[in-house]
Structure 1
Amino acid sequence: MPDELPITIRHLATVGWQVLLDGDQWHTCRKEQDARYISHNVLIADAVLKGERTGKEVARELDEAVVMIGHQVGECAAGRLMKEAAAMARGEARPLATQASEVVDAN
């Protein structure tokens, strides 16, 4: 998939698992699976914003991720992106961002 959004996850012995969500800011997670869960849902949000995915189930999954991110890292651009994508998946809103790569850039 050439258009797939790059997501970066790393482990530091002194810090724990981290996922890059806001371009240059790392967010710490308690477990590797939490970091992977967050990054997976960023990819889902990107697909929704591109018009590749939609529906109540997709919206529910993104809503759950927003709650989890709120507990893990607090308010961040990735959480706002997922909220927007969940609303769009339900047919409630038009996209504000053109794609998730505006929010998440691992370069």
Structure 2
Amino acid sequence: MTGAEMKLQIDLPTEHETGVPADFASVWHTSTSFVLDFVAAKSPAKAVVDPASGEQTGGRVMPARVVSRVRIPPQQVFELARALTQQLDAWERENGRPAPGADEH
């Protein structure tokens, strides 16, 4: 390691060791950050009902809640994308198959 390099010494608080279960992730951005909202379903999807007529509209809605929001600077998005790709590739090698619903890359 040269004098210009820096390593992080990361501490994971005990209360965060198990993580937070999430069913979905939503990604959006502002001019200064990318935001990752991790979302957990609160209950199964239900048919959408028109309140005036009581008729089902044909759509369905799943109540969900953001369980964690992470903001990262734009510069870190590239590192995150690389890390996710590396971990997905390792997962595929270990499991011998692509993730369900994933396209080949």
> TM-score if structure 2 supplies the norm length?
0.30
| Greater C-alpha Rg | 2
Give the number of the structure with larger relative contact order, counting CA–CA contacts within 8 Å between residues 6 or more apart.
1
